[in-house]
Structure 1
Amino acid sequence: MKALVVDDSALMRRQIGDILTRGGLEVVTARTGAEALARIAEDQPDVVTLDINMPEMDGLTCLSRIMEEFPRPVVMISSLTEEGALATLEAVALGAVDFVHKPGGTVSTALREQEDVIIAKVLAACGARVRRAMGLRQRLVARRDAIMRAPTRPRARGASYGPGNEALTLIGASTGGPAVLEEILSALANDYPMPILVCQHMPASVTRHFAQRLDQCCLMRVEEVRRQTELRAGTIYLARGDADMIVQERGGNLVASMLPASKEHAWHPSMSRLVASAMKTVTADSLIGVLLTGMGDDGAAELAELRAAGGHTFAESEDSCVVYGMPRALVERGGASEILPASQIAARLERVAHARMRGQARAPQRRSSWA
Structure 2
Amino acid sequence: MTAATKVLVVDDSALMRKALKTMLLDAEGFDVHLARNGEDALEQLPRVRPDVVTLDINMPVMDGLTCLAEIMRTSPCPVVMVSSLTERGALVTLEALELGAVDYVEKPGGTVSLNMRDAAEELVDKVRRAARARTRTGGLAARLRRAREESFATAPAPRSGTARSAGAGSARGEVDLLVLGASTGGPALLSDLLAQLPAGCTAPVLVAQHMPQSFTGPLARRIDASCPLPVQEVTGLTPVRPGHVYVARGDADMVVARRAEGLVVRPAPAGPSYRWHPSVDRLVQSAMEVIDPRRVVGVLLTGMGDDGAEQMAELHSRGGRTIAESEESAVVWGMPGQLVARGGATRVLHSDDIPAQLAAWL
Could you say which TM-score interval applies, normalised by the shorter chain? 0.7 to 0.9
1:287 aligns with 2:296: yes
Which residue of structure 1 lines up, in the alignment, with residue 272 of structure 2?
263
Is 1:7 matched with 2:16? no
Gaps of 5+ in 2: 153-173
Q: Is the 8 A contact 1:246 1:259 kept in 2?
A: yes
Match of 1:89 among 85, 94, 99: 94
Q: Which residue of structure 2 aligns with residue 137 of structure 1?
A: 141
Structure 2 SS opposite 1:122: helix
Quick one: distance in 1 between partners of 2:57 and 2:112?
12
Whether 1:177 and 2:178 are equivalent positions in the alignment is: no
Match of 1:209 in 2: 218
C-alpha contact 2:175 2:297 (8 A) present in aligned 1: no
Which stretch shows the higher mean deviation, 290-299 or 63-72?
Answer: 63-72
**CA distances 1:152-185 after superposition (whole Å, capped 9, x unpaired):** xxxxxxxxxxxxx982111001111111111211
- Which residue does the alignment assign to 1:80? 85
1:199 is matched with which residue?
Answer: 208
Residue aligning to 2:347: 338
| Separation in 2, partners of 1:49, 1:106 | 20
Residue 20 of structure 1 deviates from its aligned partner by: 2.2
Residue 133 of structure 1: CA displacement? Answer: 3.0
- The equivalent of 1:111 in structure 2 is 116
Give 3-state SS (helix, strand or coil) of 2:120's partner: helix
Q: Say whether 1:47 aligns with 2:56.
A: no
Distance 1:298 1:18 in 2: 32
Q: CA deviation at 1:144?
A: 5.1
CA–CA distance in structure 1, aligned partners of residues 112 and 300 of structure 2: 36
Q: Is 2:19–2:113's contact at 8 Å kept on the other side of the alignment? A: no
Q: 2:20 aligns with which of 16, 36, 39?
A: 16
| RMSD of aligned residue pairs (Cα, Å) | 2.0
The answer on 1:327 being equivalent to 2:336 is yes
The CA deviation at 1:11 is: 2.2
Change (3 A) 1:147 1:31: same
Check the 8 A contact 1:79/1:105 in 2, yes or no.
no
Aligned partners of 1:146, 1:43: CA distance in 2, in Å? 40
Per the alignment, residue 248 of structure 2 pairs with 239
Normalized against structure 2, the TM-score is what? 0.88
SS of alignment partner, residue 2 of structure 1: strand
Question: Higher relative contact order at CA 8 Å, sep ≥6: structure 1 or structure 2?
Answer: 2
How far apart are 1:142 and its partner, in Å?
Answer: 4.9
Task: State the secondary structure of the residue aligned to 1:323.
Answer: coil
Aligned to 2:199: 190
Q: Deviations over 1:258-308 (max 9, x none)?
A: 011122222111101101111112221121111001111111011111111
Select the residue among 65, 68, 75 that pairs with 1:60. Answer: 65
Structure 1 CA distance for aligned equivalents of residues 135 and 61 of structure 2: 26
For 1:210-268, what per-residue CA distance to the aligned partner results, in whole angstroms no more than 9, with x for missing partners?
A: 11111110111111111111101111111111111010112241111101112222211
* Offset at residue 10 of structure 1 (A): 2.1
**Distance in structure 2 (CA, Å) of the matches to 1:69 and 1:143:** 24
Paired residue type of 2:200: D
* SS state at 2:134 partner: coil
Partner Cα distance (2:144, 2:111) in 1 = 33
Please report how far the alpha carbon of residue 108 of structure 1 lies from its aligned counterpart in structure 2 after TM superposition. 7.2
- 1:225 corresponds to: 234
SS in 2 for 1:244: strand
**So what's the TM-score if we normalise by structure 1?**
0.86
Overall identity of the aligned pairs, in %: 51
User: How far does residue 324 in structure 1 lie from its aligned partner after superposition?
Assistant: 0.9
Cα distance, 1:145 vs. partner? 8.0
CA distance in structure 1 between the partners assigned to 2:290 and 2:92 by the alignment: 38
Using the TM superposition, give the Cα deviation of residue 106 of structure 1 relative to its aligned residue in structure 2, in angstroms: 10
Specify whether residues 64 and 206 from structure 1 end up closer, same or farther in structure 2 by C-alpha distance, changes over 3 A only: same
Residues 206 and 246, structure 2, Cα contact 8 Å, conserved in 1 = yes
Q: State the distance in 1 between where 2:42 and 2:348 align.
A: 38
Alpha-carbon deviation of 1:38?
Answer: 2.1
Contact 2:7 2:30 survives alignment (8 Å): yes
| Structure 2 counterpart of 1:18, one-letter code | T
Q: Which residue of 2 aligns with 1:367?
A: none
Q: CA deviation at 1:343?
A: 1.0
Equivalent position amino acid for 1:97 in 2:
V
Answer whether contact 1:4 1:29 (CA < 8 A) is retained: yes
Q: How many residues are treated as equivalent by the alignment?
A: 336
- Indicate if the aligned counterparts of 1:144 and 1:186 stay in contact, CA closer than 8 A: no
Partner of 2:259: 250
